[in-house]
Structure 1
Amino acid sequence: MDAQALADQLEITHLLTRYARAVDTKDWEMYRSVFTADATIDYSSAGAIVGTRDEVVDWFSQAFGVIPWTMHYITNIDADINGDTATVTAMFYNPMQLPGMTEPSYCGGYYHHHLVRTPSGWQSRQLREENLWFRNGPGSDG
């Protein structure tokens, strides 16, 4: 792996770390910085919004306000880099405390990003969450 490829891998990993920190701390300006202004984001597999970056931020700022805490873990980052674009698939595991629940809830799956290199560094132009499982959701037995 050459120096540029290694630098790109590290920057992409840092981008996904910032994404997780932004969601978990509810820092919506940091969240915006992960995405291009024209990004499309699809959380439909989790029963949530599909929209532009700003539509998602507006939805999150209201919907996540009632969630006491979340802790996103993003692992197994597979980045296929082709010049100034990259296709990234990464696993996620997300324990959380949902409102009205006494025990934590958990979900996991994959994030699928289409990234572009911008003057600000790598940013996501498209994100699709593939939520594969959810445990202890509202109204569930566990």
Structure 2
Amino acid sequence: MLSLEEISDRLEIQQLMIDYSNAIDQKQFDDLDRVFTPDAYIDYRVTGGIDGRFPEVKAWLKEVLPNFPAYYHMLGNVDVRITGDTAASRTICFNPMVFNAEEKQILFVGIWYVDEFIRTAEGWRMNKRVEEKCFDKLL
């Protein structure tokens, strides 16, 4: 049986994943400062992106994502494992992205987010995100 503290921790971690998706989808990249630790490692290479520390990746997101006319994140199968003040999770993400508005091309991306979290004075923060490819298809 889960304790109230573990339920609370899980909900806070799941909210971080939602906050991440909302920040990206609404192009509010500064909101990511409340999701990641300042030294977080992020790896987007399986989808053609970069890997590096949070400040570098955040700058890259601000530059690249506005080139896509529309996109969204849908998360599911959230599996969170908490060990004291650290946690790990694996979450499926379906991420359709309008690739070329004139030709009405959409890139359908299915990835797994493999994340690590740490409890900080400000609450839980993500300190590692690695994407694992499930599928992609350009239509």
Q: Which amino acid aligns with 1:33?
A: R
Q: 1:6-34 CA deviation, whole Å, 9 max, x = no partner?
A: 00111111010001001111111112221
TM-score scaled to structure 1, two decimals? 0.92
TM value normalised by structure 2? 0.94
Q: Distance in 2 between matches of 1:82 and 1:10?
A: 15
Residue 39 of structure 1 deviates from its aligned partner by 0.5
Please tell me the root mean square deviation across aligned C-alpha atoms, in Å: 1.1
Task: Describe how 1:1-142 pairs up with structure 2 within 5 A.
Answer: 1-100=2-101, 101-136=103-138, 142=139
CA distance in 2, matches of 1:99, 1:57: 23
Shift of 1:70: 1.1
Structure 2: how far apart are the matches of 1:65 and 1:104?
15
Structure 1 residues not aligned, in runs of 5+:
137-141
What SS does the corresponding residue of 2:105 show, helix, strand or coil? coil
- Mapped to 1, the partners of 2:122 and 2:131 lie a distance apart of 24
Letter of the aligned partner of 2:112 in structure 1?
Answer: Y
Contact 1:66 1:99 in 2 (8 A): no
Task: Give distance in 1, aligned partners of 2:70 and 2:84.
Answer: 37
Q: Is the 8 A contact 2:100 2:106 kept in 1?
A: no
Number of residue pairs matched by the alignment: 137
Q: Secondary structure at the match of 1:11?
A: helix
- Structure 1 runs of 4+ aligned residues shifted over 3 Å read none
